[in-house]
Amino acid sequence: MTTKQGDFLELPLPVDTHLHLSLGGDPVANARLQLAAGVAGVRDAGDRDGRLDGVAMPLSLNVVRTGPAIFKKGSYGSFLGDNREFTLAEKIAQTPSSFVKVILTGLVSFDNYGEIGPQQWSLEELTEIVKMAAAIDKKVMVHANSDKACREAVAAGVHSIEHGYFIEPETLTLMAAKGIYWTPTIAAMANQILDPDKRFSRAQLAIIKRNAGRQLEMIKFAYDAGVQLSIGTDSGSYNVPHGRTFLREMELFVEAGIEKSEVWRIATRNGWVLLGLPGELRLKLDPKMPLDALLEESRRVLLK
């Protein structure tokens, strides 16, 4: 539990529970950007064909790797997944940590509101994957969008849902009851509204704004319902830079209506618990401090 000492909070250091070190530049340079932003631990959520195998990351950054994501050949996910000729059981067994990344659906459409790329695995197939992972003490984090896919992920017994666009309140209520984590990756959507490369039409930007607005509403509902939230940025994706997006994700949680001190708890304690990391380093923080000042304190501890 979070401990209070006077007006201060004592918390572990920040954790980004969903990013891609192999995307958006050199993996080691990306890891250093995380440290420079005050992030102490990350969960890499998929690297094509094990690109990160053998890469020496900075020792001060706790890196939890899922290895290549599990996806169906011919479906969305080849750039994050294992394209090698292994069986499903072999892919699960070769996961380098206690987390298996499964891609359940495609992406959120920017052309038609509410449209999601096809679902790859049936409920029965996903349930079998979860059972296979559990048999060797591994948990499943699932890339899922649409309420149907999220509801089936809950029924299959996954440990966390990643993204979860268009999830409904009823499904979030079930997640709260079952202790399933949700990583909403809202910055990955909201960042596109600025459209720095002018790649989206006015109609697409209107849909992106609508997508982001609904996700913010569901984040607040999830918090109020008792869902275990975590801060995951999806850094490495288009227009989601490593390092500084962590602050952006936290600011969006505040925009959703969650108190700043609670967002800091989500960014720290929830992340460490979700990833099962040791939390020897701790911060004694004034909850009234700006979020960027809190991250700067974390950076000071990490780089001293």
Instruction: Determine the pLDDT at residue 121.
Output: 98
Instruction: Determine the pLDDT at residue 3.
Output: 44
Q: In the CATH hierarchy, which top-level class contains the domain 3-303? A: alpha beta
Stated pTM of the model = 0.95
Residue 116, CB-side half-sphere exposure with 13 Å CA sphere:
22
Buried b (16+ CB within 10 A) or exposed e, 37-60: bbbbbbbbbbbbebbbeebebeee
Domain boundary assignment for the chain: 3-303
Q: Indicate the SS3 state at residue 197.
A: coil
Residue 4, pLDDT above cutoff 60: no
Question: By percentage, how much of the chain surpasses pLDDT 90?
Answer: 89
Share the mean pLDDT of the chain. Answer: 95
Q: Over range 35-41, report the average pLDDT.
A: 95
Instruction: Determine the pLDDT at residue 1.
Output: 39
pLDDT in tens, 165-177: 999 999 999 999 9
Instruction: Determine the pLDDT at residue 279.
Output: 66
